[in-house]
Structure 1
Amino acid sequence: MSSALPSFSDPSAPIAVREEMATLRAELDSAVPRKRPLDRNLLVATWNLKDFGSLTCKWEAGAADSPKRDYR
């Protein structure tokens, strides 16, 4: 079983990542209607679920890293 991804609010996350996620969360909260008053929901759909299976275990993948998908 794979391990959980680190939290974007974790102090080990780069400041730029934390700021981007805070901005994204605020924009999504204003643009995506809530399903219920107290819940926060974002539905994401794709036919290529296998593409989410592997990632480089870094906040930002480097030029030589494969796959390019990282925590960010």
Structure 2
Amino acid sequence: MTIYTSMPLELVFEGFKDQLGPFVDITISGIRMQVEPISPGIGKIIRLMDCPLDAYLRPELSPGTVIAYGSVM
């Protein structure tokens, strides 16, 4: 990765290593995703990690979508 900037690197990378809350990696229908648990068995999609390219176009798999995953695991 190359970054061209006139800003100090301390400002550019501030908070880069800070990780938000605990995430869970789950697989549903062959799509591996990272989910932030909201309540038991329900979570918000953070990102898709391993899936076919057309899965990124499906609105039900977009980041921020709330899904049920408890019975699928």
More helix by share: 1
More strand by share: 2
Decide: shared fold, TM above 0.5: no
Q: TM-score, normalised by structure 1?
A: 0.24
Is the radius of gyration larger for structure 1 or structure 2?
Answer: 2
Q: TM-score, normalised by structure 2?
A: 0.23
